[in-house]
């Protein structure tokens, strides 16, 4: 069973870059069985998909954030990371990493079956 854990600063100043890391255990991040996502949720609001990365390094981003987002993968550490630049108060949210349940034969199932516990990032001076 895959387990995920987010880490990173809880406070970021406006205009700076938010950086978070998700550490994966119980599975190999380089396996084509999974792909890896970032999702966020402002307090009291709904969920917003930020983007995902495949073991190959290929990415898909939400167009609403694409100009500011970079997701990368470090197979040596079994981690993937999120960078969000030029942050404002609107980027204050709980950030989750999540993975699909499994992929087989190029088809993936159980979207967001595994989640980290989430980490609150506040943008404030």
Partner 1 sequence: DIHMTQSPSSLSASIGDRVTLTCRASQSIAGYLNWFQQKPGKAPKLLIYETSSLESGVPSRFSGSGSGTDFTLTISSLQPEDFGSYYCQQSHSVPLTFGGGSKVEIK
Angstrom CA distances, 116 to 74, 101, 113, stand at 17, 13, 10
Residue with tokens 């981690």: 79
Question: What DSSP line would sit under 70-109, residue for residue?
Answer: EEEEETTTTEEEEEE-S--GGG-EEEEEEE-SEEETTEEE
Cβ at position 20, least distance to partner 1 in Å: 15
Q: Binding pattern to partner 1, positions 30-49, x when CB under 8 A? A: -------x--------xxxx
With CB under 8 A as the contact rule, the residue among 82, 87, 96, 123 that binds partner 1 is 96
With CB under 8 A as the contact rule, the residue among 11, 72, 109, 122 that binds partner 1 is 109
Cβ at position 48, least distance to partner 1 in Å: 7
Instruction: Output the six-digit token pair for 51.
Output: 């983007």
Instruction: Output the six-digit token pair for 117.
Output: 């516990």
Spatial strand order of the sheet with 69-74 comes to 3-7, 18-25, 79-84, 69-74
With CB under 8 A as the contact rule, the residue among 15, 28, 75, 117 that binds partner 1 is 117
Taking CB under 8 A as the rule, does residue 110 contact partner 1? Answer: yes
Cβ at position 15, least distance to partner 1 in Å: 25
Taking CB under 8 A as the rule, does residue 102 contact partner 1? Answer: no
- Taking the C-alpha atoms of residue 87 and residue 8, their distance in angstroms, rounded to an integer, is 15
Taking CB under 8 A as the rule, does residue 113 contact partner 1? Answer: yes
- Binding residues for partner 1, per CB under 8 A? 37, 46-49, 52, 60-64, 96, 98, 101, 109-113, 115-118
């Amino acid at each position: 069973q895959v387990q995920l854990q987010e880490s990173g600063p809880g406070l970021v100043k406006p205009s700076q870059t938010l950086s978070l890391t998700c550490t994966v255990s119980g599975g190999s991040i380089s396996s084509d069985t999974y792909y890896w996502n970032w999702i966020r949720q402002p307090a009291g609001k709904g969920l917003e998909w930020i983007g995902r990365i495949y073991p190959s390094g290929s990415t898909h981003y939400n167009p609403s954030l694409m100009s500011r987002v970079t997701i990368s993968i470090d197979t040596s550490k079994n981690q993937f990371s999120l960078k969000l630049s030029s942050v404002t108060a609107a980027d204050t949210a709980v950030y989750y990493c999540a993975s699909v349940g499994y992929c087989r034969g190029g088809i993936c199932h159980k979207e967001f079956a595994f989640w980290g516990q989430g980490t609150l990032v506040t943008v404030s001076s």
